[in-house]
Amino acid sequence: MTTRSDKMATWPIPKLLFSMGIPAVISMLIQALYNIVDTIYISNYSQDAMFAIGLVFPMQMIGLSLALGTGVGIGTLVSRRLGEGNKKEATHVATTGILLGLFHALLILLLGVFGAKPFLEMFTERPDIIELGYEYLLIVMSLNIGQMLAVSFERILQSQGNMIVPMITLIMGAVTNIILDPILIFGMFGLPAMGIKGAAIATVIGQIISMLADLFFVLHGKHEVNIQFKGFKFDMRIVRDIYSVGIPTAIMNMIGSVTTTLMNGVLVNFTENAVTSLSLYFKLQSFVFMPVFGFNQGALPILAYNYGSRNKDRYMKTARLYLLTAIGFMFVGMLLFRFKTDLMLSFFEMNDELKAIAEVTLRTISLSFIPAAISIAITTMFQSFGKGTISMIQSILRQLGFLIPAAYLLSNVSLEAIWYAYPIAEIAVVIIFVPMIIKLYHNSFEGAD
């Protein structure tokens, strides 16, 4: 009987990558859809609520960043151990990762309780905005356990080549969120209208549904890697190995939160609508970036497996196909953002000033999409080699080394000029890190067939 990990060693790369990538792409597009639906409903509820969502977005991303970092660390290490034929340690890695996820959920809960209000007070003195943002953050961060564990379960399954179950469970959570949003925000079927609080409740219920479904499949399905708590003991070597990839990945995503926070600090000096415009951009760009990250979820286990098994040819074929696919998605996205801007913004209720700013935002930042595709592919390759620290440095340079300084400088010109900081930063990173990943690839496979 052929196991799921066997197919990573034997299936043709195009068939393997697309069989693993397409379900993840569908999952990510569904994820993007319900992020958009949230914002559409909130824009119809209140412009102030939409501004508050824009302010809290960076802090909300901290929980997701930690979940993704832990998940990538678990998935990469499980794939490498399977590539080495060490299923026993792969199981120990998976169990360790789930326990780390529980600990991380507690950290995010404490951050939400004690940090949400001081964070909002950094950007506005309006008590109504602070209260709206606080209500939303307190719920999504205190009940972060659904998101934290769901991501870990998904990566454990994906590391074994199972992309269908994570797709199904994410869709279950997304559909739950989409159904509950209007019911809880506007008040339907006898329930009171809860506004922004209703949006937060719908989000966490959707995440918990995904987590419970993932847990069911992990515990009851037939897998090469299982969760085993009986006789379990923490192995600090495994914790270190998970964190060696996971923490840099989490930091990379958290840097995005820091960057958006700093950008909001620049933008709010022009107008509140500039902050909302950036928030709308992040919601809309997820339809472009999510497919790329979906294929990342398919490519990373394959790359890590073939690195572990020392298969240079299959590694390079996977990396090349993933890069071309990512560039293709980003090229289509750039065309949409530049030439169909009115259509993309037509879903939201907004005033004329916000619409004018958002149009310029989308058209300008879309110039960064193609170099961003190359940058994401490079990051994936670094992670597959276990070089999470280098990928973290890459992200720090892109966002804090290039993006923010460029944005501060361009803010002296005009609001419109600020958006050019994004393509400037992406191009600079590609120039620096392409030679580095080429050298690492050759050194890592030196002597391999």
Phi-psi region of 232 (alpha: psi -120 to 50; beta: other; left: phi over 0): beta
317-360: pLDDT as tens digits:
988 999 999 999 999 999 999 998 988 888 887 888 889 999 99
Give the pLDDT score at 427.
94
How many C-beta neighbours within 10 Å does residue 427 have?
Answer: 18
What does the alpha-carbon distance between residue 84 and residue 102 come to, in Å, rounded to a whole number?
Answer: 28
Q: Which residue has the higher pLDDT, 168 or 256?
A: 168
Quick one: tokens of 47? 């412009």
Q: Which contiguous run of DSSP H or E holds residue 250?
A: helix 236-267
Quick one: tokens of 284? 């809309």
Mean pLDDT of 268-289: 86
Question: 395: closest CA among 298, 287, 265, 253?
Answer: 253
Q: Which amino acid is at 357?
A: I
Percent of the chain with pLDDT over 90: 21
CA distances from 10 to 2, 3, 19 (A): 10, 11, 13
CA atoms within 13 Å, Cβ hemisphere of 315: 25
Q: What is the mean pLDDT of the chain?
A: 84
User: What dihedral angle (degrees, nearest 10) is formed by the CA atoms of 389, 394, 399, 402?
Assistant: 140
Burial of 270 (0-12, 13-18, 19+ CB in 10 A): middle
61-92: pLDDT as tens digits:
888 888 888 888 888 788 777 777 777 777 78
Mean pLDDT of 22-31: 77
The end-to-end CA distance of the chain, in Å, is 27
Give the pLDDT score at 236.
84
Give the pLDDT score at 2.
46
